[in-house]
Structure 1
Amino acid sequence: MILAYWCVLIAAFMPLAFIGYAKFAGESKMGPRENHNPREWLEATQGAKKRAYWAQLNSFEAFPPFAAGVIIAAIAGGAISAINTLAVLFIVLRLGYGWCYITDRASLRSLVWFAATACTVGLFITAAVG
């Protein structure tokens, strides 16, 4: 199995890291009572917790095109080294994106988002030229 497939698995579970931060970091942790309505509780959070929740939502949005890009590039016979490089870079950038979001670095977050999105586009280009 190529490294990029492992990156798809990591990207699939990355939202859990962000929501874990939102639910369990800091003083106001989510407890059994809050688990009855977790989305309502998360919407009521503020600051870094709220931004971690939003990072989770954005990670769910970024996952499908990335996963499709990896799979399509591999099936189309794209260069495995290019696919692996773009996939690993996507993961690193998306982790950086989450950090930027949680720590409220809005301009840097947007740049990192753009770079990660460029990796996804690069996967489709790799498929096209493969």
Structure 2
Amino acid sequence: MDLLTQTPAAPYAWSLVLSGGVVIASIVPLGAARSQANFTMSDMKAPRAMFERLPAWGQRASWAHQNSFEAFTLHAPAALLALIAVLQMGPLSGLALPAALLQPVLRLVYLPAYIANVPPLRGLCWAGALSCTGILYLEGLRALIAAA
């Protein structure tokens, strides 16, 4: 057995961890943009005030970073719900497993698509990742309601 399937709950735990990793990864291009805008320690007084100094790609990196937090706050409860459902009821049916693993991948692809200003790819990644989160909510709730 590999690391992702050692237990039925492992993919949902990995989804949660990897989604958090995407938030951390979104800091890298933002840091590069701030460096290009000559970020100094005095900017720490109001780090968002330097937004206008960022290059266009850096502004998109900032928005992508903020959007990563928004996506994580939606996905984390869904992954936890699926994790709890699996621990209580056993493996989930349907698309829950592929959705759990695909969501962080789509969000990771979303970052360069946003920063490079590729709207069709960005939109597909956003919609796909949001759909994956929705699937986790549905499958987790379905399992817990069926058990009640």
* TM-score between the two structures when normalised by the length of structure 1: 0.84
- Is the deviation greater in 63-72 or in 24-33? 24-33
Pair 1:54-2:63 in alignment: yes
2:27 to 11, 19, 22: 19
Given that 1:21 and 1:52 are in contact with CA atoms closer than 8 Å, whether structure 2 keeps it comes out as: yes
Q: CA deviation at 1:122?
A: 0.7
Q: CA deviation at 1:43?
A: 4.7
Q: Mind listing any 5+ residue stretches in structure 2 that lack a counterpart? A: 1-8, 144-148
SS in 1 for 2:59: helix
Deviations 1:64-123 (A, max 9, x none): 221111111222235289544212200010011111100000122112100110000110
- Which amino acid counterpart does residue 141 of structure 2 have in structure 1? A
Q: Matches of 1:10 and 1:87 in 2, distance apart?
A: 10
Determine the structure 1 residue equivalent to 2:124: 111
The percent identity for this pair of structures is 29
- Which amino acid counterpart does residue 133 of structure 2 have in structure 1? T
- Which amino acid counterpart does residue 72 of structure 2 have in structure 1? F
Q: Matches of 2:40 and 2:22 in 1, distance apart?
A: 22
- Is the deviation greater in 104-113 or in 78-87? 78-87
Q: Matches of 1:111 and 1:40 in 2, distance apart?
A: 31
Determine the structure 1 residue equivalent to 2:54: 45
Q: CA-atom RMSD, angstroms?
A: 2.3
* TM-score between the two structures when normalised by the length of structure 2: 0.75
Are residues 27 and 64 of structure 1, via their aligned partners in 2, closer, same or farther at CA, if it must alter by over 3 Å? closer
Pair 1:69-2:78 in alignment: yes
Q: CA deviation at 1:20?
A: 2.6
Give the greater-gyration-radius structure (CA).
Answer: 2
Given that 2:16 and 2:80 are in contact with CA atoms closer than 8 Å, whether structure 1 keeps it comes out as: no
- Which amino acid counterpart does residue 53 of structure 1 have in structure 2? S
Q: Matches of 2:43 and 2:105 in 1, distance apart?
A: 32
Q: Mind listing any 5+ residue stretches in structure 1 that lack a counterpart? A: none
Determine the structure 2 residue equivalent to 1:85: 98
